[in-house]
Amino acid sequence: MLDRSQDLERVALIEALNVMDPALGRSLDPITELAAFTFGTPIALISIVDADTQQFISRVGLALERTDRHHSICSCALQSAGILQISDLRNDPRFRDNPIVSGPERMRFYAGAPLVTRNGIALGTLCLMDREPRLLSSDEQRQLQTLARIVMNQMELTMSVGRREPISGLPNRQQFQADLS
């Protein structure tokens, strides 16, 4: 479990980077679609876990846009160094009563790779879900981690557009104002 100061820092970074921007989610949709296709799962999500909720900024195969953080499987994945994989959520005591498992969605499989910034702060996950139990091979786990790094690179690139001087790469006035606030 993250301590309170680490979690406050993480949530402040989420707000500063404006990762809940719908335009960012749309720019990540092709990666989410690629993840679902690559792994043959009906559901792929890019989630950001803030103070109270988990928001799916890009999603394939799931109508939900957000869940309560308390019910977020991705919150557990934020704390793992690699992939959090649960082959059958109904058999895991942490999640068997979770509404996404016991409710109408009936999720069984989960695999999530943390989305980690360059300074080591996990903002959310790239995750896969299925209504059937399954397991990712070690090669598939590496591919999921690679896609998670691509998501973070795209997020950082999108966020830096218009906030850096093109020649020097140094932050510009817009970035200074964003950092100041």
pLDDT digits (tens, 9 = 90+) for 119-167: 888 999 999 999 999 999 999 999 999 999 999 999 888 777 666 666 6
Report residue 93 as tokens. 């005591």
User: What whole-number distance in Å separates Cα of residue 168 and Cα of residue 154?
Assistant: 20
**pLDDT-derived band at 2, boundaries 50, 70, 90:** low
Output 8 or 88, whichever has higher pLDDT: 88
Structure tokens at 106: 């009936």
Could you tell me if 14 and 123 are in contact, meaning their C-beta atoms sit under 8 angstroms apart? yes
Q: What's the CA gap between 14 and 7, in Å, rounded?
A: 11
Alpha carbons within 13 angstroms on the beta-carbon side of residue 49 total 27
Q: Which residues contact 66 (CB under 8 A, 6 or more apart)?
A: 53, 54, 55, 56
Least confident of 4-13, 106-115, 127-136: 4-13
At residue 97, the pLDDT reads 94
Torsions phi, psi for 67 (to 5 deg): -135, 165
Confidence of residue 181 (pLDDT cuts 50, 70, 90): low
CA distance 180 to 176: 6
Q: Longest Cα pair distance anywhere in the chain, in angstroms?
A: 54
How far is residue 55's CA from residue 91's CA, in Å, rounded to a whole number? Answer: 25
Q: What are phi and psi of 57, to 5 degrees?
A: -80, -20
With 60 as the cut, is the pLDDT of residue 30 above it?
A: yes
> Does residue 157 or residue 170 have the better pLDDT?
157
